[in-house]
Structure 1
């Protein structure tokens, strides 16, 4: 893989992008399966998995907790565990990996001992208080004094019972509790406070991963689950390609009139971001209002695409974007307006993008600040397919979930200038 420079300038291609790209494995599924395999007794083999910053942080943390995690090739993990995680004398450093932080915070309650979980400066701004509060109601000694990491858990096991969690900021709080609950002493009932949730489709990913490793979960109404204390059994599993990564290639295809084969049709993805393909396919006549609540990681892709749409697009249901790797709503608005003043505006928690097809073909020298956010970098590279002068700062941040992104664009014929 070619190492990215400190900045890359995208050269708009002179012809439609045509070719085949092998997608990385799903980050969401890889990190779920890594943890669940670590909680199982025996040896599990994960194939088609993602190797990126987020999954590397998860694997490293699991090794600290006494799990054997081997990497026989570029897309596989072999996880051998006793079914019990062990205390680590050193804090678990998780970078800015939100799934690893949230999932391991709940899993730490099963460890008999003290676990400290920390991350980088960006992670220390990402809220975790609702998950900590839910664990406390279950009798777990948990604290996060700032409401964000670092988190300290003094585990004695999970007794069981009922827990109510506020998942308005992130569905990952629910997924974290679901995964850990299978290792409780008694059944655990999980209910949503107010019934609100971030992206329900990601809970379905969690339930599917749990079932693969032998857990039993039953729904209780529209917003609750009962998790049986089955623990997990080792299993071999294939990780689905990453749907969020696919959105960039679907968008590149429609922007250039190309044909990019990613090896999987949209309807075969189980990840919620795959629903964005229907909206992308409608370009340049995307709908006037897009509810992003159930495909949040696809919003940066759609927002940049909307800049070239035939009419304005309002993005709603995206309040949670403010607590991702960065405030993505603010970042999208700021960088779109850096390309051309007035191109986007924040209206409360909505984002309004004023589509202008005439942007295509212009030269607008613009350095895009990426805020150490992989999705901002990858999405704004799409603008460079139609506008000359788009320069992506800190392009290496894509390593968080898609280390091969720039090489994928090159393979399709896109010139990138350092």
Structure 2
């Protein structure tokens, strides 16, 4: 069910203040799974509580893992060190990390596990991950190439070498790596080719695995060797979400403000933090931005580019077409809803016809959000400089940043339901 539309009134002042971004979704869901695979008690602090992490936690509880929530930013995970076969399908909404990571992890159960999601998830490809799992002798099937998925768990992840096509999603690679530490012997996870959509997220995975006691060695640039160590319970601190922070960095430069996030940019280890360097170049963004290694930051940068001094072309973003929605199409469509021709698709590229004169105008537009949190949050940035913008289904931000609208209001941005 969609939420009432939200009108955003452009502020007449620079946005100044302190905002604490939520914890990283990417790291939270990795840490939840690794803690569930570790025997004992792990405390995860600084964690994100959102729709995606709630779905991950609920699925782990279905498999016999105790996941307690002592406060708004912590999980305490107590596990026997194994996953039990759930009595019913794991229903994961449109949580891509949960679906991909758990598809590999449930091979550690003993028995048949079905994983399913909502209508949007049933359009998100998972075939390359299943093909890789089958090469290790694991039964894994999805008749449409998208969820629902059926996995025949056998209590371990095998041994040997597995090749994975990571061109559609680095999450396939991360899923294999995390499960591989529970193999019968060492497992080499190798890329089928050189293409990987977001290598920085694989680095995040390896760092989290290492914190939970795994041994992962980079054999070369396209191969990782994972030893069959299993995992050890540990206390783990999760850094703030870099993707969420991009909206605040952009709001700062759009309004000439100063927003303290409580963490220096250099302290972020997530790939989307690379966007900070570009955001600080505004209003002189480069004419071409390759978004392949910071994909979740592209919506932020695309809306910021609308106000840039010169047009911007975004390349390396074909994988945005298989996110929560087709983000290339959504960005082009909604930018052009503000002003015809402001955004357009050119193959898999996005071209933004920048115009600094948009700032200060009133251009009524009802922005469709496609049930995609990043479309809603990025187009709220346009509303900081353009009057008349209404965000449809604003509650979709609950997927990763439930407090987003409150954060803007705390900085003095006025909103009203319409």
TM (norm. structure 2) is 0.99
Report the Cα offset of residue 345 of structure 1.
1.1
Q: What CA distance in whole angstroms lies between the structure 1 residues aligned with 2:306 and 2:265? A: 23
Q: What CA distance in whole angstroms lies between the structure 2 residues aligned with 1:23 and 1:377? A: 17
Q: What CA distance in whole angstroms lies between the structure 2 residues aligned with 1:366 and 1:347? A: 23
Unaligned runs of 5+ in 1: none
Residue number in structure 2 paired with 1:89: 87
Q: Could you say what the CA RMSD is over the residues aligned between the two structures, in angstroms? A: 0.7
Report the Cα offset of residue 6 of structure 1.
1.1
Report the Cα offset of residue 263 of structure 1.
0.6
Q: What CA distance in whole angstroms lies between the structure 2 residues aligned with 1:366 and 1:70? A: 43
Q: What CA distance in whole angstroms lies between the structure 2 residues aligned with 1:183 and 1:6? A: 46
Report the Cα offset of residue 144 of structure 1.
0.6
Could you say what secondary structure the match of 2:325 adopts? coil
Q: What CA distance in whole angstroms lies between the structure 1 residues aligned with 2:375 and 2:390? A: 12
Could you say what secondary structure the match of 1:194 adopts? coil
Q: What CA distance in whole angstroms lies between the structure 2 residues aligned with 1:112 and 1:196? A: 33
Residue number in structure 1 paired with 2:414: 415
Instruction: Map 1:252-263 onto structure 2 (within 5 A).
Output: 252-263=251-262
Quickly say closer, same or farther: Cα 1:194–1:415, change in 2 above 3 A.
same
Report the Cα offset of residue 66 of structure 1.
0.4
Q: What CA distance in whole angstroms lies between the structure 2 residues aligned with 1:406 and 1:295? A: 23
Q: What CA distance in whole angstroms lies between the structure 2 residues aligned with 1:34 and 1:295? A: 23
The reply on whether 1:111 has 2:109 as its aligned counterpart is: yes
Could you say what secondary structure the match of 2:195 adopts? strand
Report the Cα offset of residue 5 of structure 1.
5.0
Report the Cα offset of residue 155 of structure 1.
0.9
Instruction: Map 1:344-355 onto structure 2 (within 5 A).
Output: 344-355=343-354
Q: What CA distance in whole angstroms lies between the structure 1 residues aligned with 2:144 and 2:406? A: 39
The reply on whether 1:336 has 2:335 as its aligned counterpart is: yes
Q: What CA distance in whole angstroms lies between the structure 2 residues aligned with 1:10 and 1:102? A: 35
From 56, 77, 81, the equivalent of 1:58 is 56
From 69, 72, 86, the equivalent of 1:71 is 69
Structure 1 runs (4+) greater than 6 angstroms displaced: none
Unaligned runs of 5+ in 2: none
Residue number in structure 2 paired with 1:145: 143
Q: What CA distance in whole angstroms lies between the structure 2 residues aligned with 1:301 and 1:194? A: 30
From 9, 12, 16, the equivalent of 2:7 is 9
Q: What CA distance in whole angstroms lies between the structure 2 residues aligned with 1:265 and 1:73? A: 25
Q: What CA distance in whole angstroms lies between the structure 2 residues aligned with 1:224 and 1:354? A: 40
TM (norm. structure 1) is 0.99
Q: What CA deviation, in whole Å up to 9, does each residue of 1:99-146 have, x standing for no partner?
A: 000000000111111110000011001010000010000100000110
- The alignment of Structure 1 onto Structure 2 pairs a total of residues equal to 415
Q: What CA distance in whole angstroms lies between the structure 1 residues aligned with 2:385 and 2:119? A: 34
Residue number in structure 2 paired with 1:100: 98
Q: What CA distance in whole angstroms lies between the structure 2 residues aligned with 1:119 and 1:283? A: 39
Q: What CA deviation, in whole Å up to 9, does each residue of 1:308-333 have, x standing for no partner?
A: 00000000000100000000000000
